[in-house]
Structure 1
Amino acid sequence: MTERPEGAPAQPQPQPQDQPSASPSAPPPQTPTQAEIPAQPAQAQAPTQAAVPSAYPYPDPQSPAASPSPRPYGPQVAPVAAQANPYGYPPGGYPPGGYPPGGYPPGGYPPLGAPPATGAGGRAVLWALVGAAVASAAWAGGVFLLGKDETEADLRGYRAKSDICPSVDYSSFKNEYPEEDDAPVNNSLEHAALDQSYCSISLKESSTSTLSDAYFSVQIDLHKKTDPGPEFTAMWSEYDQRYEDYEVEKVDGFGDEAYVITEDTTSGDDTSGSRSATLAVRDGWMTYEMRWSAYGSSYDDVTMPDVDDVVDWLKNDTNATLDNLRGADGI
């Protein structure tokens, strides 16, 4: 420290302005009243704006409350709280098979990524998801086990043939129609689900007939995948619903069920109108029809046999034909 020369005046020390010196004996300074404060020049003050509530649920990152301790790179932003999944999906998506039985579990599914729930409610959710998975697996297993029908077709030994006409017995009609048909029509179908054979024969009263005097046919169907019983019953037992002139009669002695369907529009006149008769038989999964029909007019000299007689002929020849088709060589 530099010593002051002897005789030099002491340097005055700077004192704070308007600051009364503190002295143990001096009274404490008095706070001036509002009237004693000199008026300050008016300054433009920004209007105070009332706080408006916001829909944003998090603190304003610019507000002091959001940043209690400023950081050197800007205000500290409050972390965003994790939100629960608004749609309530289960962890990892829906369980296999869709919704669990009974709909959503109580309280909805836990949010994605949430820790496993504990307690009674958590166990309920867990069992609901496990139950849905088990039900889905059981359904898939049931489809796998039941999807294939192993039922064996009940064909009763019948065989369809590619050329069935030689096996058709129509001897009961030959007294009325002695002329032989030299070119009967054969056709057949072979498939994993159905075998079918059909024969059509023209019936003539004499060699002078240029056209058929009556029409005769036989068809056999072997249903190899499905039981034809319900549809056969519906079609033939209610055949008279289709036309007013048809009559249906159930008959015995042929397979599991059989029906005779007849039609007669001649009103007793053997030379005008039409007559027909069909015998339909189901024996197991085999269905069979033998048909006869004839048409006449007042310009023809042809007479038609009585329908009741034709029904008897159909019954006789059906028994013989079915015997020929049972155990015969198939297609």
Structure 2
Amino acid sequence: MQDRPEELPTQAQPEAQAQAQQPLPLPRPEPTPGPTPGPTPASAYGSPPVYPPAQQYAYGQPPGFPPPSGGKGTAGRAVLWAAVGAVAASVLWAGGIVVLGPLGDDPDLAGYRAKANLCSAVDYSALRSEYAEEDNAPTHNSLKHKAIDQSYCSISLKTSSTSSYADAYLSVEMDLHKTTDPAPEFTAVWSEYGQRYEDYEVEEVSGLGDEAYLVTEDTTSGTGTSGSRAVTLAVRDGWMTYQMSWSAYTSSYGTTTPPEVSEVSRWVKTDTRSTLENLRSD
């Protein structure tokens, strides 16, 4: 006959049951070694902040909270943290829905079509009043994707055929945003462009698309023999964004000086209107 296990005394049974109900503390995993720190990459807006490598706390308590230590009230605290976690997950899920926004919106491309060779649609007739020599080999490239179509063109501007190098440069870019409305970011970037560099001035332009901004810079000295001048016109029409940019260094002009920013601004506005019309009709 086998010996029966000794039964616990009656008065000790509640204490044994309480101990059995207490959750055992889960082992804290060892931190995963991170990569060897390297130099922080340069950034146009300054070096990004350096954060320590994240520690993994799978199934354990997050940093800052003590691990379960047993005793009265442990089960209640476990239920409390589970409830807090559920609420946090619900908030994050709701936040994710807000960030993503409604899906399936049809892009408002305002009749524009992507061009494999944007240079073929760029009209810079007004600028040609200063730069008579035509660039017979402008640079262009393009990108097509389900999220965005991009077209780019770069043109060298010469005042005459005797110019050995370009006297100024013209670049044009058109983006067709097909999944995301670019309006908020476009407004933020171009209306506040002067925050980046104190030499730039920003002016809102009416009569071009849904919104347009003229950004100018003039760092030439009083004699006009050093520095540079630049003009950029940025336009948003629906989910299409466009920029035409002109820039020139006084050193490229030799004994003469580049045209005034106000004059180039008029030329760029005129050429932008005709170029946008070409991009809709082609």
TM-score by length of 1: 0.57
1:223 aligns with 2:177: yes
| Matched position secondary structure for 2:17 | coil
Separation in 2 of the partners of 1:192 and 1:220? 16
Q: Check conservation: 1:271, 1:298, Cα contact below 8 A.
A: no
Deviation at 1:245, TM superposition (A): 1.2
Q: 1:302 aligns with which of 225, 250, 256?
A: 256
Q: 2:151 aligns with which of 163, 179, 197?
A: 197
> Which is higher, the Rg of structure 1 or of structure 2?
1
Name the residue aligned to 2:17.
83
Q: Where in structure 1 are there 5+ consecutive unaligned residues?
A: 1-71, 90-106, 111-128
Q: Check conservation: 1:277, 1:307, Cα contact below 8 A.
A: yes
TM-score by length of 2: 0.67
Separation in 1 of the partners of 2:204 and 2:2? 101
Q: Check conservation: 1:180, 1:204, Cα contact below 8 A.
A: yes
Q: Where in structure 2 are there 5+ consecutive unaligned residues?
A: 25-72, 77-82
Question: Would you say how many aligned residue pairs link Structure 1 and Structure 2?
Answer: 215
Name the residue aligned to 2:52.
none
Separation in 2 of the partners of 1:325 and 1:299? 32
1:234 aligns with 2:185: no
Matches within 5 A, 1:132-143: none
Name the residue aligned to 1:174.
128
Q: For residues 161 and 278 of structure 1, do their structure 2 counterparts lie closer, same or farther at Cα, with a shift above 3 Å needed? A: same
Deviations 1:248-284 (CA, angstroms, capped at 9, x unpaired): 1111111111111111111343443211101001111
Deviations 1:40-71 (CA, angstroms, capped at 9, x unpaired): xxxxxxxxxxxxxxxxxxxxxxxxxxxxxxxx
Separation in 1 of the partners of 2:7 and 2:22? 26
Percentage of identical aligned residues: 62
1:252 aligns with 2:186: no
Q: Check conservation: 1:213, 1:302, Cα contact below 8 A.
A: no
Name the residue aligned to 1:19.
none
Q: 2:108 aligns with which of 145, 154, 165?
A: 154
**Root-mean-square deviation (CA), in Å?**
3.3
Deviation at 1:77, TM superposition (A): 3.1
Deviation at 1:184, TM superposition (A): 0.4
Q: For residues 77 and 188 of structure 1, do their structure 2 counterparts lie closer, same or farther at Cα, with a shift above 3 Å needed? A: same
| Matched position secondary structure for 2:235 | strand
Separation in 1 of the partners of 2:271 and 2:253? 32
Separation in 2 of the partners of 1:239 and 1:318? 20
Q: Check conservation: 1:270, 1:305, Cα contact below 8 A.
A: no
Q: For residues 168 and 194 of structure 1, do their structure 2 counterparts lie closer, same or farther at Cα, with a shift above 3 Å needed? A: same
1:275 aligns with 2:229: yes
Identify, as 1 or 2, the structure richer in helix: 2
| Matched position secondary structure for 2:151 | strand
Separation in 2 of the partners of 1:222 and 1:298? 34
Greater relative contact order (CA < 8 Å, ≥ 6 in sequence): 2
